[in-house]
Chains A and B, each alone.
Chain A
Amino acid sequence: MFEAIAFYLFAFLTIAMFFITVTTSQALYALTALAAGMIFISAFFFILGADFLGAIQIVVYSGAVMALYAFGMMFFDTTREVKEKNGNKYIVVGMSTLAAILVVAIFAAPMVSENITALYPVIEGAGNTQQVGMVLFTKYLVPFEVAAIMLLVAMISGIVLAGKKMDLSLTLYNTAEIDDMKKDQAKKVLS
Chain B
Amino acid sequence: MEIGLNHYLVLSTILFAIGLVGVMRRKNLLLLFFATEILLNSVNIAFAAISHFYGDLTGQMFAFFVIAIAASEVAVGLGLLIVWHKRHGNIDLDSLSTMRG
The CA-CA distance from A136 to B7 in the complex, in Å, is 28
Our pick among B9, B74, B92 for the contact of A65 (Cβ within 8 Å) is: B74
Our pick among A14, A76, A131 for the contact of B91 (Cβ within 8 Å) is: A76
> Interface residues of B, CB < 8 Å — how many?
71
The CA-CA distance from A91 to B20 in the complex, in Å, is 10
A181 at the interface (CB under 8 A from B): no
Given contacts A154-B71, A161-B79, contact A22 B26 (CB under 8 A): yes
Given contacts A49-B52, A162-B82, contact A15 B18 (CB under 8 A): yes
Query: Once the chains bind, are B57 and A22 in contact (CB under 8 Å)?
Result: no
Collect the chain B residues with CB atoms within 8 Å of residue A30's CB.
Answer: 31, 34
Mark contacts of A47-58 with chain B using CB atoms, 8 A cut-off: 1 yes-contact digit, 0 otherwise.
011101100110
Interface residues of A in 110-160 (CB under 8 A from B): 110, 116, 118-122, 131-132, 135-136, 139-140, 143, 147, 150-151, 153-155, 157-160
Query: Once the chains bind, are B85 and A76 in contact (CB under 8 Å)?
Result: yes
Interface on chain B toward A: helix, strand, loop, or mixed SS?
A: helix
A residues near B (Cβ < 8 Å) are: 3-4, 7, 11, 14-15, 18-19, 21-22, 27, 30-31, 34, 37-38, 41, 44-45, 48-50, 52-53, 56-57, 60-61, 64-65, 68-69, 72-73, 75-78, 82-85, 87, 91-92, 95, 98-99, 102-103, 106-107, 109-110, 116, 118-122, 131-132, 135-136, 139-140, 143, 147, 150-151, 153-155, 157-162, 169-172
